[in-house]
């Protein structure tokens, strides 16, 4: 068999910003404006008013195809053009039998296409990850096994935590999810209202276990006292506390607080993560499968295991292929006992699948169909 076609398509749809604000993908209010991309009102990052992503389809000469997805919350056309102009010409015609060794070799080849030209992160790796995920989907279909089975997993579900509780209904929302079996929640921290935020944590039901996402907005001076406040509340982790380019500052923080430091969503390769592991700067690794792909995610997860770090896949703006990849990955990685869950994101993703990704109680159900176990409704996305 050979790879004969690699297609990439940008996808966007309007979001209910009122419902989405305070959850993964849109954790803060956005500045007023007329464009689709707007500044967060609390830190210098752009968000889209739409759900945006890049969908990838890899087809073999026998007609079999696999779905992938690049994390592309802004300007998905860029990742798609990288696939169209660079990756597809480099890979079309490549023999493919669906082995792990083949996929790893192809990942390395894709990475090498622009390595000496400086493109070893960002949009380039997002595009690579989308193709990589599609290859794993194909590998499972060729073997007539789910991806998690190819990787040796025996789990039947992957427990999840709820990502984001709207500030206006925080306690009521927590109580609702507790009644459904969820016990773990992540809240997004607004550094302008530290006292109010901590007070809100204390007002949540006693059964609720809380992780906190600081969205890279703390400083070395403010992170330690805030971390001590979380220590006193037995927080699950402190996520993305400092500027993502600074492993030394993360290491210093990790050594001074008991709450585990959690990072990973903004890093795509083992090369980016190595300085953090070398400095013992984290205890929770959060791979985003739309950025690192399954192949590189597994490599980094092995590094995390060697450090004794937990693995908790990150799921932000995503359609079916990204979410499914995270679920299969979570089932296959021994150090993973938890995965992110954004109810609004999953509800939208399921609209475009022939068969939905399912939750039972507080866990994702692993599909028993081959590959990723999902198929996009092409009549809706083309």
Q: What would the pLDDT profile of 340-368 be if each residue is shown by its tens digit?
A: 999 999 999 999 999 999 999 999 999 89
Q: At residue 213, does pLDDT exceed 80?
A: yes
Confidence of residue 193 (pLDDT cuts 50, 70, 90): confident
Q: At residue 327, does pLDDT exceed 60?
A: yes
Same domain, 127 and 160: no
Q: At residue 17, does pLDDT exceed 80?
A: no
Domain extent, residue 21, equals 3-148
Same domain, 129 and 168: no
**DSSP element (H, E) containing 224:** helix 220-232
Residue where one domain finishes, among candidates 131, 148, 165? 148
Same domain, 55 and 102: yes
CA–CA distance, 200 with 249 (Å, rounded to integer): 28
pLDDT for the residue numbered 222: 96
When the pLDDT of each residue in the chain is averaged and rounded to a whole number, the result is 94
Residue where one domain finishes, among candidates 120, 148, 176? 148
Q: At residue 34, does pLDDT exceed 80?
A: no
**DSSP element (H, E) containing 10:** strand 3-14
Q: Could you give the angle at the alpha carbon of 341 between the alpha carbons of 340 and 346, nearest 5°?
A: 135
Render 238-303 in DSSP notation, one character per residue.
EES-S-TT-HHHHHHHHHH-SSPEEE-TT--SHHHHHHHHHTT--SEE--BHHHHHHHHHHHHHHH
- Specify the CATH number for the domain of residue 175: 3.20.20.120
Q: At residue 208, does pLDDT exceed 60?
A: yes
What is Dmax (Cα atoms) for the chain?
61
How many independent structural domains does the chain possess?
Answer: 2
Contact 111, 104 (CB under 8 A): no
Average pLDDT over residues 274-291: 98
From residue 105, alpha-carbon distances to 91, 100, 196 in Å are: 11, 9, 50
Q: At residue 22, does pLDDT exceed 60?
A: no
pLDDT for the residue numbered 97: 98
pLDDT for the residue numbered 23: 58
pTM higher than 0.75 for the full model? yes
């Amino acid at each position: 068999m050979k790879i004969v076609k690699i297609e990439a398509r940008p996808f966007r749809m309007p979001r209910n910003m009122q419902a989405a604000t305070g959850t993964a993908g849109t954790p803060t209010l956005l500045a007023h404006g007329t464009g689709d991309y707007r500044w967060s009102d609390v830190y210098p990052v752009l968000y889209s008013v739409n759900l945006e992503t890049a969908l990838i389809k890899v087809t073999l000469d026998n007609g079999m195809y696999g779905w992938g997805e690049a994390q592309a919350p802004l300007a998905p056309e860029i990742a798609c053009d990288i696939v169209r102009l660079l990756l597809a010409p480099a890979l079309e015609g490549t023999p493919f039998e669906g082995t792990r060794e083949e996929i790893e070799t192809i990942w390395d080849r894709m990475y090498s296409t622009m390595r000496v030209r400086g493109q070893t992160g960002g949009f380039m790796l997002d595009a690579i990850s989308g193709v990589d995920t599609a290859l794993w989907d194909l590998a499972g279909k060729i073997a007539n096994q789910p991806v998690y089975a190819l990787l040796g997993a025996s789990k039947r579900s992957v427990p999840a935590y709820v990502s984001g509780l709207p500030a206006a209904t925080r306690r009521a929302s927590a109580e609702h999810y507790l009644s459904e079996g969820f016990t773990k929640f992540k809240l997004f921290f607004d550094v302008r209202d530290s006292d109010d935020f901590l007070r809100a944590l204390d007002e949540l039901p006693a059964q609720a276990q809380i992780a906190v996402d600081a969205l890279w907005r703390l400083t070395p001076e403010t992170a330690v006292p805030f971390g001590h406040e979380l220590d006193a509340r037995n927080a699950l982790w402190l996520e993305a506390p400092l500027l993502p380019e600074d492993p030394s500052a993360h290491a210093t923080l990790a050594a001074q607080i008991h709450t585990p430091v959690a990072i990973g969503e903004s890093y795509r390769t083992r090369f980016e993560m190595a300085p953090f592991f070398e400095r013992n700067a984290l205890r929770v690794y959060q791979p985003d499968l739309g950025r690192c792909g399954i192949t590189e995610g597994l490599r980094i997860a092995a590094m995390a295991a060697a450090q004794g770090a937990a693995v908790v896949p990150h799921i932000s703006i995503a359609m079916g292929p990204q979410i499914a990849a995270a679920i299969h990955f979570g089932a296959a990685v021994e150090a993973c006992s938890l995965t992110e869950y954004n109810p609004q994101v999953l509800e939208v993703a399921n609209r475009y699948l022939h068969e939905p990704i399912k939750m039972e109680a507080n866990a994702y159900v692993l599909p028993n169909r081959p590959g990723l176990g999902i198929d996009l409704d092409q009549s809706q996305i083309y």
